[in-house]
Structure 1
């Protein structure tokens, strides 16, 4: 075999193996380095994101506390003013005249604009509600006329004994945040009213998030409220709230919000039952990570190419003497030289060449003896072939006998010889092809049944039930005849009295052909299995034909085509199998 012929085979060469081995080693090392670089860079970026997010949250919380302290600090100013505090101390606050109410609200407005809270421009209105629920209200220049329905809604849920500042929102008013504090008398300590500041949510959050990355969002929440800086992040904020409040020191974690991964830093604001959280999409970190890895991957690509060329060079250096040795062996096989030349490149190859030349000399010694033995064997084979009967000679002889019977007007012998000839012809053709049309298969089955009926005279009757629509489809050659033979020889022949044989073929709902051979013979023993049949060279009355057919059907169509046996001894026995309907006839045994 020449080198070109070896190249056409699927066996890899040593050069290919060495090149592949070195390439795989280099690739594994580089992949490990990529993994290390990726994991290490990811850890560094995660740490940087943690520092950045927590620093932003701490800054925002510091601003929150400053603003809350500012909001809380104006309440004592209002209580210290006698124009406001005296009506609140009075039991009949609601009997104040319109002039007194106007004076109180003017004083409230004056005090508001005298504080730095007015310069922040996120206050909508201020309410003071007396103990008899009389409402004094002022609006800012940046807000419309304040309404009173918010106060009524807030009072329904307010605990008038709560001394701390409360932050709350209303379900039907998602644009405002309310800071609420109960007022108590400095003389008696009794509840005298409620102070409410209405803060515009959007302006308040924008003030605190002006330095926040646009892709991040801020969320403020407690058990009764949740506000967020980005209106598109409502679902994420609600999912963040469901994770629970983070009490005490600042915490950092990775959370899945609305099917998306986020870095989240959270902390409870001191003095308020309120938690602030800053969330950043984790995908931003991966974008930064991919950007960092691009240059690294370009460098690795160059290293891989250098490694590949190095592998090819090393493999050529190792395999070059092997190629030379193979070339010389091919020259010897083509009788162009008689021995291998010395291989001085590597010591191992030189030893191998010397041993190979010694083997060639030993082969020359035995050549003549082997040649003589081959001549004797060839003569024996020719003699054996001469003694074989040509199947065409046998068929021609049967046709001659049939012609003689027809001339002698012996129709019965004529039909039997014709049937036997056709059956032998089918058997010969089955060795040349794997599949046959169902119509032809049934024709050979009928010849076989006819011969058996002539043998047993009127003992066996047969009924063939096959739809015409199935006649042109292909089935495996001689797949029905072995079942018919088994039914007659093992079922009906031992039976006392007349026997009935039915060949039934049906099309199933799953576009398959179900072939069944039914007889009323002696049947099979209980728990009989086709695959348990053992081969026998001495006993001809075995079911080995069933086992062979079962194996052939399995190789062609798989598990679905195994033979199925349903037998009630002496009553009814059915052997069936199922194959897909196909004009292609399934898979050829020659392809297996």
Structure 2
């Protein structure tokens, strides 16, 4: 698996490195990204995080609305329940009934007195539609307590009232009967705690719902006390199977767990509608509210934003197309003409000119660039036709002049005659020294005027010089050499090692009257290094800086002892830089305690300037 992944990465690199994209394509891509990417980011964000966040917030709002409707309805029901409790505690029915039982008043006076006392509390309350009571001794005799006509005490309402009357409890009973909210309660006499009557109150259900200011966007349904019926503020719940499905599930749950506070959400099986349910248990009843909405309402805000993004795209894409066309005409086309002209120069067509007409260069900035390019092209042609050959000739003359400064003016024939006489006299040491000196002089005179020779010849000259110096110092001079034999045929500038050896002897060995010289020639990466190390006095930082300025020609060489070697090492450095360039040359630095390193760096089989 790991190998396969590496292969894929390698293949992608090959694809991208095979051909670089043009500036025109890069800029068009960049502009398109800058225009379209923000819109796409907004759209993607809305499609995922923002969409879910908006749905969650909408659901939370709907749930809070459901809670608010529950609290509003329960508040009004509780207020009416408190009024019925006052009937018991204020003895509004018991007092007239006691008078009637004592014979102090007749039936007519009993009813008038009871109705007058109850009507004060009930008749002006907008929540109460109708209210009446009946005595248990004569349940068929109904006593209205409000000004409205008594029309409800029949059918299911009458049956529910008699069920309450048969129950010995004095608790308030809240029921939904025929889609209306009723409150039932048995009235007991405080003295002797005898049940004397049953009170029935019909709430103004529709007005209670109307005052909740519920929206037409959803349906609002209430269940009370696990009843089979509900009250609703909708228009189509009865005819919608999906909504009925939600209500059946809620009714089932409410029957099982109606006595606990609970909130939850549910949808129908087709995911078309969503219900928000909140139920709460009160002292005298349990109330459950269901708010049913079409699920498309959850996406209303999101759809609005999607429409906005689509509108932006409709506007942005034509503008982007116009911008790209203008950009190509005023920017990319002129650049393409200039790139083609540069390619012509690269192919050797010096002096090429770019037309400066309006069709080719549509704006002032590019006209200025074209004029500058044409002028530059003309100058380049002149430099290549005249100045280059002149510069090459100047370099050759300078190299010959530098070499001539260190070529001795001795006659090699004279040395051959001296060598012959030494041999005849039997003086072998003198003969070998003369042979070494002859080799050295023959090499430095360079009768063939070669600019480059083999590394083997350069080392042969260095060996001749070291032999002469070793004869001078004897055992006081130690010479160690380490030469890479594989690079001996490499071409190098002439007379570059001898000046370094002379400098090592003059400033190192002679100052201490003894010492060691190491000669190391080796190849490292694409370069050849020739390193001469010698013992002697410590090379200070100031001395290093002075030597560097001499090598670079920044400091004038003073006459006196050491002038010849200073000229020699400077010439070596300058010749190498003229032949190979400024990245190569000679450096002299301290490389240890009382050890100085002189290092030449040249390219291995490098190109010559």
Which bin holds the TM-score, normalised by the shorter protein? 0.3 to 0.5
* TM-score, with length taken from structure 2: 0.41
* TM-score, with length taken from structure 1: 0.42
**Structure with the greater alpha carbon radius of gyration:** 2
